[in-house]
Amino acid sequence: MKKLVPAILFAFALSSLPAYAASEGKPMPEKKLTSQQMKMKKCNADAKEKKLKGKERKAFMKSCLSGKS
């Protein structure tokens, strides 16, 4: 039990290092979006612009992502 608490604290400290490094003002490298991700981004923006919610948004997203609209 005495070794468990320090081990947990050490693991937590290690897991927070990447977040600390990212917050140091270093820009994160941009990832290229796949065509599906670009389509999803566009459909989301269109749905937001039309202020769709609930079932209407779901139906719109389904048709938009399938290329029907």
3-state SS record for 14-68: HHCHHHHHHCCCCCCCCCCCCHHHHHHHHHHHHHHHCCCCHHHHHHHHHHHHHCC
Residue 46 in domain: yes
> Quick check: 31 pLDDT over 70?
yes
> Quick check: 21 pLDDT over 80?
no
Residue 28 in domain: no
Domain ranges, residue 56: 33-69
The band of 58, judged by pLDDT with boundaries at 50, 70 and 90, is: very high
Task: Assess contact for 43 and 64: CB atoms under 8 A.
Answer: yes
Residue 54 in domain: yes
Identify the pLDDT of residue 42: 94
Residue with the two structure tokens 């081990």: 7
Task: Assess contact for 60 and 52: CB atoms under 8 A.
Answer: yes
> Quick check: 27 pLDDT over 60?
yes
- The pTM of the full predicted model, rounded to 2 decimals, is 0.53
For residues 7 and 40, which has the higher predicted lDDT (pLDDT)? 40
Residue 40 in domain: yes
Residue 2 in domain: no
> 3-state DSSP call for residue 12?
helix
Number of domains in the chain: 1
Residue 9 in domain: no
